[in-house]
Amino acid sequence: MKTPPDENQLVRYLDDEMDLAEKNTFEASLAADAELRAEIESMSRLGAVLRSAMPDGRDVPHPDFFNSQIQVRLAEEKQAHVREFHAPAQVGGWLGWMRTPWFAAAATAVIAVVAFGFWQDRHSAPTGLSVVLSTYAPNPSVHAHSFHSGEAQATVLMLDGLASVPPDRQIVGQQVHHSDMDRQVATTPLFSDEGRVLLVRAVDGRNQPRLLEHTR
């Protein structure tokens, strides 16, 4: 009785993954078996149709932001896992859920996540320090990256690729004591320590911030 080639062999042949000896053997089988040839042709046609109908890939809009949000989601899930691990079990159910089939896999995953968390903490930012979780620079020529400086005892967000401020431009600082949100007109007056209005933040028609100087 003829031994039919398994599906894996067919796929490997179509994907040209066989070595020469294996390919010769398979093609000898193919020459002798009309049914097998028909199968190969059918699979080949199906592959061609699928390739023509589906693009190889599609660009993700704003890939940096996409990646940063994935990092945020991973961090949130890590925290959720840790909370779940430390959450008290329900009374009467603690032995039951330990016997469930997914417990070993889940426990392994949680232990790995916790171990990774400890490792990451030891190698990036110790507890008690500020942390940058994600960054997104709308201008693609700007590259944002962060690190912790032990010497400076600070977290640093570096923005490479920013355009320089023209040297003749005056950068004027303000000594702002505080600001309040005026919800009635959606503005933010900024006050000096004497209670004098220095600036008023408003928004323009494109919802962009505008800082208006208060002169009188």
Partner 1 sequence: MPHSLTAARLFFITLMACGGGGVLNGQPAATSFEASPIIRKPATDGKVWGGLIFASPKGKGTGVAKGDLPAGLRDLPVRLGKVFQFAHFELLGQHTQDVFREYESWVVPSKDLFLKVDSKGKAGGGGINLHLQFWQEQQVLVKTDAVLREGSPLFISGPKWRDGQLIFVLMLTMPED
> Which residues ranging from 78 to 107 are in contact with partner 1 (CB under 8 A)?
79
CA distance 10 to 17: 10
CA distance 114 to 120: 10
Residues 168-207 binding partner 1 (CB under 8 A) are 169, 171-185, 187-191, 195-197, 199-202, 204-205
Nearer to partner 1, 103 or 136 (CB): 136
- Dihedral (CA of 107, 110, 116, 117) sign: negative
Residue 42, amino acid: S
- Asked whether position 162 contacts partner 1 by CB under 8 A, the answer is yes
State the nearest-atom distance from the C-beta of 83 to partner 1, in Å.
9
- Single out the residue of 202, 209, 207 nearest to residue 187, CA to CA: 202
Among 72, 74, 104, 111, binds partner 1 (CB under 8 A): 72
- Asked whether position 67 contacts partner 1 by CB under 8 A, the answer is no
- Asked whether position 163 contacts partner 1 by CB under 8 A, the answer is yes
CA distance 46 to 130: 54
Give residue 98's Cα distance to chain centre. 32
Nearer to partner 1, 27 or 84 (CB): 84
Nearer to partner 1, 110 or 132 (CB): 132
- Dihedral (CA of 151, 131, 79, 66) sign: negative
- Asked whether position 128 contacts partner 1 by CB under 8 A, the answer is yes
- Asked whether position 152 contacts partner 1 by CB under 8 A, the answer is yes
Q: Which residues contact 2 (CB under 8 A, 6 or more apart)?
A: 33
CA distance 192 to 179: 9
The contact mask relative to partner 1 for 15-54 (x = CB under 8 A, - = no) is ----------------------------------------
State the nearest-atom distance from the C-beta of 18 to partner 1, in Å.
49
